[in-house]
Amino acid sequence: MESSAKAPISEALNQLWVKFLPMMEERLAALEAANRELAAGCLSDETRLAAASAAHKLAGVLGTFGLAEGTALAREAELACSGDMSGDTQRKARLEAIAGELARMVRGRG
């Protein structure tokens, strides 16, 4: 592809990123809410399921923007949120790390 053709594509992707950023922030907030409830020892099924759904959607949108690592992390978060997490300190710690990395990825691209 010629460099003159790359500029409009790059600009279009940047415009789409800006358009989808509020939705990605909402999805990150769902993961962060699950982490807060986990830390407090009171993760509700509603919050857990919302986090799993948010992670699933993040996986898709990050893949659209070529962020394969973000897609893999979001899929891992979705899997972590798909079952009972009480007493599973390793999974809790991993979910917290994933949420932090996804937040850095999304907020760092802005």
Segment 4-26, tens digit of pLDDT: 667 888 899 899 999 999 999 99
Please give the residue range of the domain that contains residue 57.
Answer: 3-109
Segment 48-91, tens digit of pLDDT: 999 999 999 999 999 989 899 999 999 999 999 988 777 778 88
Looking up residue 49, the CATH number of its domain turns out to be 1.20.120
Compute the distance between CA of residue 11 and CA of residue 24 in angstroms, rounded to an integer.
19
Compute the distance between CA of residue 110 and CA of residue 107 in angstroms, rounded to an integer.
5
Q: In this predicted structure, what is the pLDDT of residue 97?
A: 96
Query: Could you tell me the sign of the dihedral formed by the alpha carbons of 67, 68, 74, 78, in that order?
Result: positive
pTM for the model: 0.87
- Is 110's pLDDT higher than 60? no
Total number of domains constituting the chain: 1
